[in-house]
Structure 1
Amino acid sequence: MMLHAVWVPLFDELADPLVVARLAASAEEAGWDGFFVWDQLWWRPPISAVADPWITLAAVAVATERLRIGPMVTPVARRRPVKLLRETTTLDVLSNGRLTFGVGLGGDRFAGEFSRSGDETDDRVRAEQLDECLEILTAGWSGETVDHRGKHYLVDSVRFEPRPVNGRIPIWGAGFPGNLKPIRRAARYDGYFPVNLTSPDQVASAVAAVSAERGSLDGFDMVIALPPSTDVRPYAAAGATWCLTDFDPAALRLADVQDVVRSGPPR
């Protein structure tokens, strides 16, 4: 059975963590399975207000008891690995083990977030940073002493506690359909999110590619995002296991999101 999550940009009317926490509580009451948020520093006009995902997700964690929560997706290269390790573990403990960590390269073309903040704009370098950071995170979550001396990061004999509630935090890797490198990265972890899908055939291709890498899809999630009211059945038949609501940020209105949430997930 496909699981369904609310997925919202934290923009303008949804830039208030209390508003989003109440929305998540409504989603839980309406029977949704998850609640995920965008991770952006800013966005294109006419968007003006933008909230921090981690503080917002902390409010969501306190307001809910059952929903799977997380950022979708965090551009990992613009964050320090050890700080991210503390943030993810603390949020996982606060939510009693309900965090899923969505990760990706991000993209400067959407809002100039890398070039306008002095962060790395080369996709290849950010991919190296992402892979190193994931090594540090998974090592740190293990509770063992972390010794990492990589091309981009250093962690010198540090043990991180507390550990995640379930021993580790699931990681979903994002990438554009047809790009094999993100699929290979995601296949090492717990799920793959092909962004900007246009057809169920792309899901089937991603399923085949992940299967070729892993040998099995047991315990692995194939995550998609679709506009509300889209018929999800062809995507489920193609192998999708999670469907996120895809709201257009340019037309985002709190009242519209509330209507979708109250109507409950498609079944």
Structure 2
Amino acid sequence: MRAAVWLPLFDELADPIVVARLAAAAEGAGWDGFFVWDHLFWREPVKAVADPWITLAAMACATERLRIGPMVTPVARRRPVQLLKEAATLDVLSRGRLTLGVGLGSDRFAGEYSRTGETVEDRVRAEQLDESLGILRAGWSGEPVVHEGKHYRVDDVRFLPRPAQGQVPIWAAGFPGTRKPILRAAQYDGFFPVNLQTADELAVATDRLRAIFGQDALPEGFDVVVALEPEMDPRPFEEAGATWGLTDVDPASLSLADVQAIIAAGPQW
């Protein structure tokens, strides 16, 4: 199971230069990836929140090996063609090291949807997410995109340059016990079960994925991503099918010194 640093870009970590230096240190300490939260603002006591895409660009320039990406981007908050171009450009900048985490997002943490005039209906955001992902995949192909959907329109546009990887890997997030997110994830490159409590919950989700794929094992290259708190034993999660473990931290109490210590200690699984 590969190991990644996973951080909110809050307060002391709301400086792209600081985070780029942390990413370089993580690469030197043997971590496999470095992923960041994607938020506009957050509830108290958090005050400052950085943009993930600018920060990821700085991280790409400071590293050579780490896999990087937003984990996760609430796609309904973004125009799909803008996200398409940002992801392709970042993948070129990083020489093919971007993984795009996607999900519905939630209004419950800071009111990011309701306070900025976005829809709070899960059903609508799910429609926007699925439609956007289709546009991303079509646009990254390098072929002209013609799309007339319920929420978005693209009229015969070719988006170049393509990502360095050809297609950016997509990890879809969702609650592990909910059918639709698992079905969505199976169409792409990985599943990130959020609010996962036990390895048994993960085992149920991976069983469902194997049933969708119609085989005894998950396809080669398909990732299952889990967030692990420091006291969690990673072995049961790996046995249940996890291929990546992410550091799960508390944004309310996290400090730069804490992050530096986590990174310097190196991967714990």
Q: TM-score, normalised by structure 1?
A: 0.98
Q: Is the 8 A contact 1:188 1:214 kept in 2?
A: no
Q: Does 1:244 align with 2:246?
A: yes
Q: Does 1:45 align with 2:44?
A: yes
1:96-175 alignment to 2 at 5 Å? Answer: 96-175=95-174
Counterpart residue number, 2:267: 265
SS in 2 for 1:183: helix
Question: Hey, what's the Cα distance between the residues in 2 that align with 1:228 and 1:31?
Answer: 17
Percent identity, aligned pairs only, is: 70
Counterpart residue number, 1:233: 235
Counterpart residue number, 1:183: 182
Question: Hey, what's the Cα distance between the residues in 1 that align with 2:169 and 2:253?
Answer: 31
Deviation for aligned residue 1:163: 0.6
Alpha-carbon displacement from aligned partner over 1:216-245 (angstroms, at most 9, x marks no partner): 412210000011242211111111000000
Q: Is the 8 A contact 2:91 2:165 kept in 1?
A: no
- AA of the residue aligned to 1:149: E
Q: Is the 8 A contact 1:35 1:67 kept in 2?
A: yes
Question: Hey, what's the Cα distance between the residues in 2 that align with 1:118 and 1:135?
Answer: 24
Deviation for aligned residue 1:81: 0.6
Q: Is the 8 A contact 1:228 1:260 kept in 2?
A: no
Alpha-carbon displacement from aligned partner over 1:163-218 (angstroms, at most 9, x marks no partner): 11121000000001201100000000000000111100011011111111122412
SS in 2 for 1:225: strand
SS in 1 for 2:115: coil
RMSD of Structure 2 on Structure 1 (CA): 0.7
Q: Does 1:255 align with 2:257?
A: yes
SS in 2 for 1:198: coil
1:7-86 alignment to 2 at 5 Å? Answer: 7-86=6-85
Listed as ranges, the gaps of 5+ residues in structure 1 are: none
Q: TM-score, normalised by structure 2?
A: 0.98
Which 4+ residue blocks in structure 1 deviate beyond 4 angstroms? none
Listed as ranges, the gaps of 5+ residues in structure 2 are: none
Question: Hey, what's the Cα distance between the residues in 1 that align with 2:229 and 2:256?
Answer: 15
Question: Hey, what's the Cα distance between the residues in 2 that align with 1:237 and 1:132?
Answer: 34
- AA of the residue aligned to 2:129: L
Number of residues of Structure 1 aligned to a counterpart in Structure 2 = 266
Alpha-carbon displacement from aligned partner over 1:10-59 (angstroms, at most 9, x marks no partner): 00000000000000000000000000000000001000000000000000
